Amino acid sequence: MEAPILITGGAQRIGLALARHFIAANVPLIVTYRTRHNSVEELAAQGVKCIQVDFNEPNAIDKLVHQVSEYTPALRAIVHNASSWDCEKLNPNHDALFDDMMRIHAKVPYLLNMALAPLLQASQEVTDIIHITDYVAEKGSPKHIAYAASKAALDNLSRSFAAKYAPDIKVNSVSPSLIIFNEHDDEAYKAKTLKKSLMGIEPGCKEVIASIELLLNSNYITGRTLAVDGGRHLK
């Protein structure tokens, strides 16, 4: 078997679209999921190794690393996509919120990168770690303070790990702003959000997929952040 790509949080939305993209390209996949969405059956039926993990649970990392290591001797790439878009307004326990945000967005990628690097280095080619961050990592967000700080920490990991693992492993961030709305987003929110970027569109998952493919196919980009944000920084 060709070395698989590991995607965290691959059972819905962007992660699922990315998984479907790689399935169509016959790229072997490992996907983690927390909630057993119907998509898990679809992915498993197409040969994807689906591993249930809630990164808030104790020993989640050790269990995942063991299962991945049992399944494959090498990895082609890791895409850290799993994320929780939580905010201070809905989480008055700011102590717990800060810890939760830092755990899922920074500690989990950090620990997985440290533990799974040998599997990436076991591949016969240059491999990749890709962190999915967020435009607010550079700008901040008054409504998602802990979330934005944790994504900034994740973005910083790209530079540290790029220096640590070169030239065997390239490490980069993909930093989106709006990609796809959530089902509960109302028309007023959508209109307000679309005005935040120069392009003014909801671009869809294909923009993130194209950015990830660009990084996977480069032999030279590392330690960098690919902004996929419709020119939001210029509004």
Ligand X SMILES: Nc1nc2c(c(=O)[nH]1)N=C([C@H](O)[C@@H](O)CO)CN2
Ligand Y SMILES: NC(=O)C1=CN([C@@H]2O[C@H](COP(=O)(O)OP(=O)(O)OC[C@H]3O[C@@H](n4cnc5c(N)ncnc54)[C@H](OP(=O)(O)O)[C@@H]3O)[C@@H](O)[C@H]2O)C=CC1
Cis peptide before 176 (omega within 30 of 0): no
**What DSSP character marks residue 234?**
G
Q: Which of residues 106-135 bind ligand Y (CB under 6 A)?
A: 132, 134
- Shortest Å, Cβ 9 to ligand X: 8
Q: Which residues pair with 52 in a beta bridge?
A: 33
Establish if 162 lies at the interface with ligand Y (CB under 6 A). Answer: no
5 vs 14 by CB, closer to ligand Y: 14
* Matching residue, tokens 């063991």: 66
Site for ligand Y in 31-90 (CB under 6 A): 34-35, 37, 53-56, 81-85
Output DSSP code: residue 2.
P
Quick note: the x/- pattern for ligand X over 115-144, rule CB under 6 A, is -------------------x----------
Q: Which is nearer to ligand X, 59 or 182 (CB)?
A: 182
d(CA 118, CA 114): 9
| DSSP 8-state symbol, 13 | H
- Active-site position among 33, 110, 135, 147: 147
CA distance 211 to 204: 12
Q: Which of ligand Y, ligand X, none does residue 12 bind (CB under 5 to 8 Å by kind)?
A: ligand Y
Q: Has 147 been annotated as catalytic?
A: yes
Least CB distance to ligand Y at residue 122 (A): 25
Closest separation between CB of residue 159 and ligand X, Å? 21
Nearer residue to ligand Y within complex by CB, 13 or 159? 13
In angstroms, give the least distance from the CB of 19 to ligand X: 16
Phi, psi of 99 (to 5 degrees): -65, -40
CA dist., res. 215 & res. 18, Å (int) = 14
Q: How far apart are CA 206 and CA 70, in angstroms?
A: 32
From CA 225, how far away is CA 235, in angstroms rounded?
Answer: 20
At 204, which amino acid appears?
Answer: G
Footprint on this chain of ligand Y (rule: CB under 6 A): 9, 11-15, 34-35, 37, 53-56, 81-85, 104, 132, 134, 176-180
The residues annotated with a catalytic role in the active site are 147
Footprint on this chain of ligand X (rule: CB under 6 A): 83-85, 134, 177-178, 182, 193
